[in-house]
Amino acid sequence: MPSLPLFFGPRWDWLQLEVTSRCNAACGYCPRTVYRESWRSRDMDWDTFQRLVPEFRRTSMVHLQGWGEPLLHPRFFDMLAAVKRAGVWAGTTSNGLLIDEDTAARLAASGLDMLAVSLAGTGEDHDRARAGAGLEATLAALRRVDQAKQRLGSATPALHVAFMLLRSGLPGLRRLPGLLAGTGVGQVVVSSLDYVCSAELAGEVLTSAQVLEAEDNLRKTAQEAAAQGLALSWLLPRERAGSAEFCSENVDRALVVAVDGAVHPCVSASLAANRGAAASAEALVFGSVREKSLSDIWVSKEYKAFRKSFGSGDRPLVCRSCPKLRVA
């Protein structure tokens, strides 16, 4: 039976911890690349992370990743071990660049439940979009982890792909199942570009007609993928009644803790804090775990009012035009 403080305190579906905002790739659609001149490249310090450890028992899942490459953090595996000691499901998303044979073996032995690796195409389109994180290097990283799992007889981490569907990637979408054959990937989640941080990127956003085309292709691709044991799902933008009161980021039951300990309702709301002093005032933040416990921040008057605003329609200005309100 849980202790009384745990029983009466908040419960979350997941916590997302931005362990670092540093990255070793230069993906053209990523805000970190576009805002590189003012970007704050930082690691979460150990003291900040330790303040979060008692809160892990209040959630079912902890995802160790934000606006950077998590494996760059020098204590990533220590953080992962702390999550697993709490008996919690742990996941992360990586560009795969640091996954050599050694790291693959550590990941396979670590207890990590899910490793997602990012793709943004099925050929040269991926290489153009994800500079420094080429397609072949990314697929090789997946194969290394899969082989390490087989050597250890480990079922984890489950290997997923986070697939960014750009307009330029539409023609190659049907090649996805064949591309992932032999990598050990069991699931692909497809999303599209919703945060357009430069004029050059506007041409990569799917039109309404292209969303319909993509969904038709995805349904066909999903059938082909299922034949090789690969599950494929997608989250694409659409206009729909009532969308203004629905947020795909689950702000009622989840949150993000940034590298500096600031608590944000979602990863999009945390972006401005990484863009430098001029933009940081735009960040939607409800406190810092360096000053208060995560539980106390969650039940604060301001945070409660924010969550309630999604039912009343009186959302903060920063949320009103958010593209996540159209994702389904």
* pLDDT tens-digit map of 27-74: 999 999 999 898 999 999 999 999 999 999 999 999 999 999 999 999
Q: Domain residue spans in the chain?
A: 4-326
On whether the CB atoms of residues 95 and 135 are closer than 8 A, the answer is: no
> Which pLDDT score is estimated for 293?
98
Determine whether 224 is exposed, middle or buried from the number of CB atoms within 10 Å of its CB (0-12, 13-18, 19+).
Answer: middle
* CATH architecture of structural domain 4-326: Alpha-Beta Barrel (3.20)
On whether the CB atoms of residues 261 and 289 are closer than 8 A, the answer is: yes
How many angstroms separate the Cα of 105 from the Cα of each of 90, 117, 240? 17, 16, 45
**Confidence tier at 233 by pLDDT (50, 70, 90):** very high
> Which pLDDT score is estimated for 291?
97
Question: What is the length of the chain?
Answer: 328
Percent of the chain with pLDDT over 90: 78
3-state secondary structure of 77: helix
**Across 129-147, average pLDDT:** 98
**Confidence tier at 243 by pLDDT (50, 70, 90):** very low
DSSP 193: -
> Which pLDDT score is estimated for 1?
42
Whether the predicted pLDDT of 241 surpasses 80: no
CA 227 to chain centre: 27
